[in-house]
Structures are given as C-alpha cells and as structure tokens.
Chain A
Amino acid sequence: GEDVEQSLFLSVREGDSSVINCTYTDSSSTYLYWYKQEPGAGLQLLTYIFSNMDMKQDQRLTVLLNKKDKHLSLRIADTQTGDSAIYFCAENDSGGGADGLTFGKGTHLIIQP
C-alpha cells in the first residue's frame, strides 16, 4: 500500500535553514503537500507541488521533488521561532478522482536559540 516516511525530529539553530525530508512509495502520486501543525491546532497547508515539477519556491519555502527516488524535501530559509511546529508530508494519488491524502507521521521542528 501507499506509505509516506519522515524522520521524527529535526533540530536547527534560529537563523539557519531547515531541511525536512520525506520519502513516499506510491509511484502514481500526483500531488505532494507540506502541512504545518502547531500545538493543539489544525493543519495549515503550506505548499504543494505537482508531480511533473521538480522545484517550487514560495518566499522562505522551497520544495524539491526527486520523482525518480520518490523523495520530497521542504527547505525553510532563515528559520524563526515561529516555525517551531510539526511538519507533515502528504501525497495524493488523484487517479482522476479526489481521494484522501496519505500522510507521514510528521517531523517535529525544534528551534534552538
């Protein structure tokens, strides 16, 4: 079945770049997403990338997709304390319909002062 894997924790210094990695198994994934969840809150859609793209940039966020290796990454430039949260990678196999997303378990981003 479909599977999305992420490392559980990432610790970075404030001001450095954070790179959160994700691997997935479903070769028919059409869209890949990054969501942010702060404590006690819902998920905030940060960005998504279509599978025929290999990079997408939006302000401090850069998404890289290596479709051959089924590897997705999210880079956050100039990491701030407000970036402290859990980051979820998710994929959607559209197959022509709007299926539910398959999520990884999330990466806890810890910011050191």
Chain B
Amino acid sequence: NAGVMQNPRHLVRRRGQEARLRCSPMKGHSHVYWYRQLPEEGLKFMVYLQKENIIDESGMPKERFSAEFPKEGPSILRIQQVVRGDSAAYFCASSPRSGTGFSYEQYFGPGTRLTVT
C-alpha cells in the first residue's frame, strides 16, 4: 500500500509565475489536508478537503492560493503569482474516513519544497 504521494518534490518558480502542487492520498483515504512549513517552523494548517468539497479553508491566505480535490485525480494546491515569501515546504496529509466522520490519523507525504527566485 503506497503512502501519500506528492509531486514534484522540488519546484523552482520565478516571482509572478504559478505553482501547482499535487497530492495523491493513500488508497482508501478520502480526506486530504494541506500544510505549509516555513524554515525552522512547525507546520501550519491551510485547508482540508474531501472529494469535490472544501471543508475547512481557514488557514488559506485570502488571495492567490486555491485548492481542489476532484472526483478523479490528485488534490491540487495552486499558488498564483508567487512571491518570495511563498518559499516553503508544502505537505499534504491524508486520513481514512471513520464511522463518526472524524478521522484522527493523518499520514503525511514527503512534501514539495517550493523555492521562489
């Protein structure tokens, strides 16, 4: 059973370009979370999605950032018009569905390290 897959592992973008980060959850997992890790910091929650639905985007910056988890295919975190401050590691986690709807185990992918030059 493959773990959470993220690609690319490293992404370099110039200021003003778009960055698209992909996440494929573990098989059987229907919940996806995106986190951002700045250097020497812990992870900060950005958004929580289920298939075709954004459940909680309270951690997403209001502008330039969007996320989706389509019916088919991976979850995508999209950053438009990147700036130097977007340079960070972006981690995706997935979680299985529980009978109560609450999934307490989150399994993380290896991350995408975004560098904005």
By a beta-carbon cutoff of 8 Å, the part of chain A in contact with chain B is: 4, 30-31, 35, 41-45, 48, 88, 90, 92, 94, 96-106
Contact = CB atoms under 8 A, between A and B. Distances in A.
Interface of B: 4, 6, 31, 33, 35, 40-48, 55-56, 59, 91, 93, 95, 101-111
B55 A97 contact: yes
Contact of A98 (B35, B46, B101, B110): B101
Contacts of B4: 42
Contacts of A90: 43
B106 A101 contact: yes
Contacts of B103: 98
Contact of A43 (B40, B59, B104, B108): B108
Given A41-B110, A103-B42, 9 more contacts: A43-B91, A43-B93, A44-B108, A45-B105, A98-B104, A100-B56, A100-B59, A101-B45, A106-B42
Contacts of A103: 35, 42-44
Given A98-B48, A100-B48, A102-B45, A92 B104 contact: yes
The residue in B41, B55, B108 that gathers the most chain A C-beta atoms within 10 A of its C-beta is B108
A52 to B, nearest CB: 13
B31 A98 contact: yes
Contacts of B110: 41-42
B86 to A, nearest CB: 19
Contact of B102 (A96, A101, A102, A106): A96
Given A99-B56, A105-B41, A35 B108 contact: yes
A44 B44 CA distance: 16
B109 to A, nearest CB: 5
B97 to A, nearest CB: 9
